[in-house]
A and B are shown apart, each in its own frame.
Chain A
Amino acid sequence: MLKVVKIETYHGRIRVLNNVSLDVEKGEIVTIIGANGAGKTTLLSTIAGIHKPRSGQVYLGTVQTSCMPVQDVVKAGISLVPEHREVFDSLSITDNLKLGAYHRYKTDKKSIDEDIENILSLFPALRGREDQLAGTLSGGEQQMLAIGRGLMAKPKVLLLDEPSLGLAPLVVKEIFDILVSLKKRGTTILMVEQNAKAALKVADRAYIIERGQISLAGRARDMLQDARVQSAYLGARLHA
């Protein structure tokens, strides 16, 4: 479904991504884990069209999206829920969700109210507060709103950048439970996380990124058991 082929992305003269390839199948949750500054966010931004790769391609199905401007990438079916959530804080919950459907507003106006209803049933915490300003929500609620807003675009692949950032453990669990239920509904998810344990528990497959390169790829279940992964990302000590 989503295929990233030998991407190289630069910030000015610094090469942030070096020969990164990965793929995500329909209906999968794939996670990318890595330390701060490894290039996770840049990778998602490149897929979403915010950064243009200097070489390499991104394909969604058979469509090459890496040469498109952001708004066309969104239209093609890739929706990014950014790091720090970035909700429209002085707009209401409903307006945030409506703006999520911006690219299909002209063509698909009628179904938008119905879709908002669906999102609210997915995130009951937001229901009944539709007119509340997004900036007044708690961190977890803002994350739910950001995910809901991303889903309003009806993406083929949903990209999530650090959905657990700055959230209490219980809230993290709630968010990840929702991701699992999204997967059951057929949503394809590519997620970047520093909370490796939580991410590997819900993911089907995982990639580990180190200094801009994919250093390890495999099934999430296997990675949870992998000694190197455990010592580097899961906080376990190696017993020498």
Chain B
Amino acid sequence: MSLSSELLQYLLSGLTMGGIYALVALGFVIIHNVTGIINFAQGEFVMLGAMFMVTLVNAGVPAAGALVIAVILVMIVVGLIEIGAIRTARKASPITLIIITIGLSTAIKGIALLVWGTNPYKLEPFTKGGPIHIGGATIVPQSLWVIGTTVLVLALTFFIFEYTYWGKALRACVVNKFAARLMGINPQRMSLLAFVFSAALAALAGIVIAPITYVTYDMGLMLGLKGFVAAVLGGLSSTPGAVIGGLALGIIESMGAGLLSSGYKDGIAFIILLLVLFLKPGGIFGTSGTKRV
């Protein structure tokens, strides 16, 4: 295999994982922008999506229907969590709420362990067929599903934020929370909306990645952390930043694993996190902390 086809191979697998990171990162950014909370349970939402999907498919539900039901189930679960655990503590400081999300993450993982056990589950790829060869590199069809879903979801997110009234109300909260309250925009409802929307993104990420990585009760931790790194990379408050951060992280990781050693794969993400926090805490696309008045 020549170097160029090797690089292409790493790029393709990087884009696949990067798409997943981007979806998770987008969830982090949306919740953070609207509520000021960093939701460390985001990774568990990914796991829940994948677990519901596997369970439904194994129960004989056709894949397309299972996908829709699994996403809706995760949205409902997360909606209930928001109402039960976040809203009741809404007067607490963001740091307390962040700690609550860490607790939630542990709790969800614990429940998942009880329900589904420690065995990994396998989900069949959405479409059958052998690997596809592109210019010396190979890609499994499921990777195309991942990339396609990512693109579709990003386009949909863009549409919602740019063209719908609810999306604009959410953006209004992000741009100027105080003024948004004065317009009569209910911050509690917006928080619920942000959580449920992020849950849908996470669930979709979990479902499309499941055939590639297997599904385990603890898959959420790493995906959540990587998504967080991607979000920080993009500045934590910018939606395009989160997407680019996710894709960049996926590609760097895959290149690093391929060219150095696959043992460094996870390490690379956290080295990037540390470097960004040390050198450019506003994220590579973020502006510095100042705001024009």
Query: Interface residues, chain A, CB within 8 Å of chain B?
Result: 48, 50, 69-71, 74-75, 79-80, 82, 86-91, 95, 98-100, 102-103, 105, 149, 153
Chain A residue numbers with a CB within 8 Å of B169 are 99, 102
Contact of A48 among B172, B182, B185, B186 (CB under 8 A): B182
Chain A residue numbers with a CB within 8 Å of B182 are 48, 50, 70, 74, 79-80, 82, 86
For this complex, 6 residue pairs linking A to B, each with C-beta atoms less than 8 Å apart, are: A50-B182, A70-B184, A71-B181, A88-B171, A88-B176, A91-B171
Check A91–B183 contact: CB distance below 8 A: no
- State whether A153 and B176 are in contact (beta carbons under 8 Å apart), knowing that A98-B165, A102-B169 are contacts in the complex: no
The B160-195 residues at the A interface (CB cut-off 8 A) are 165, 168-169, 171-172, 175-176, 178-186
Q: How far is the CA of A105 from the CA of B181 in the complex (A)?
A: 15
Q: Which residue of chain A has its CB nearest to the CB of B189?
A: A71
Report how many A-B pairs have Cβ atoms within 8 Å: 60
Check B175–A89 contact: CB distance below 8 A: yes
Is chain B's interface secondary structure helix, strand, loop, or mixed overall? helix
- State whether A82 and B179 are in contact (beta carbons under 8 Å apart), knowing that A99-B172, A102-B169 are contacts in the complex: yes
Contact of B183 among A50, A74, A90 (CB under 8 A): A74
Check B181–A103 contact: CB distance below 8 A: no
Chain B residue numbers with a CB within 8 Å of A69 are 186
Query: Interface residues, chain B, CB within 8 Å of chain A?
Result: 165, 168-169, 171-172, 175-176, 178-186
Check A100–B183 contact: CB distance below 8 A: yes
Contact of B176 among A75, A86, A105 (CB under 8 A): A86
Chain A residue numbers with a CB within 8 Å of B176 are 86-89
Q: Which residue of chain B has its CB nearest to the CB of A81?
A: B182
Q: How far is the CA of A80 from the CA of B169 in the complex (A)?
A: 18
Q: How far is the CA of A103 from the CA of B185 in the complex (A)?
A: 7
**Given A50-B182, A74-B182, 11 more pairs with CB closer than 8 A:** A70-B182, A71-B184, A71-B185, A80-B182, A86-B176, A88-B176, A90-B171, A91-B171, A98-B165, A99-B180, A105-B165
Check A90–B175 contact: CB distance below 8 A: yes
Chain A residue numbers with a CB within 8 Å of B168 are 91, 95, 98-99
Contact of B175 among A71, A74, A91, A149 (CB under 8 A): A91
Chain A residue numbers with a CB within 8 Å of B185 are 71, 99, 102
